Amino acid sequence: MSDCLFCKIIAGEIPSTRVYEDELVFAFRDINPMAPTHVLVVPKAHAASLAEADALDDRTLAACLRACGKVAAQEGLTGGFRVVSNCGSDACQSVPHLHFHVLGGKKMSEGMA
Ligand code: DGP
């Protein structure tokens, strides 16, 4: 999508710090990190959120989840990590391109919401 921020990052039109990339997935450091490691894993194909998961093929969705684990391993998150995907306004999603936050490098709070 031409007016999508993360599509522009994937295309290299907006700079980012790339952490991982394969045929289907792009991962880069969050501009506003909430943990020592905070990486965004996004499908290269556009879908607004998990609410539109049917817009993506299963290979792409699986590649996103696999990439989360690969990023965590690459970042040395041996103590564990958290994956979050905000979906819609109640979840405070601010960028309408599906993304998975990979957070780690510290002890997380037990609260999820
Ligand atoms: P969410 O609130 O779940 O939609 O998360 C969107 C995240 O995207 C938020 O943590 C900040 C990050 N973000 C927004 N704009 C940019 C940007 O231009 N570059 C990078 N690297 N991250 C961005």
| pLDDT given at position 111 | 92
Give the tens place of pLDDT for each residue, 25-76. 999 999 999 999 999 999 999 999 999 999 999 999 999 999 999 999 999 9
**Pocket of ligand 1 from Cβ distances under 6 Å:** 5, 14, 16, 28-32, 40, 86, 92-95
**Which SS3 state, helix, strand or coil, does residue 70 take?**
helix
Report CA(49)–ligand 1 centroid distance (Å): 14
Report CA(34)–ligand 1 centroid distance (Å): 11
The answer to whether 97 is a known catalytic residue is no
Per the DSSP assignment, residues forming a β-bridge with 39 are 29, 102
Amino acid at 32: N
| pLDDT given at position 2 | 81
DSSP 21-34: E-SSEEEEE-SS-S
What confidence category does residue 78 fall into, taking pLDDT thresholds of 50, 70 and 90?
very high
Model's pTM, two decimal places? 0.98
Percent of all residues in the chain with a pLDDT value above 90, rounded to a whole number:
96
Q: What is the rounded average pLDDT of the residues 78-82?
A: 98
* Structural domains in the chain plus CATH codes: 5-104 (3.30.428.10)
| pLDDT given at position 1 | 76
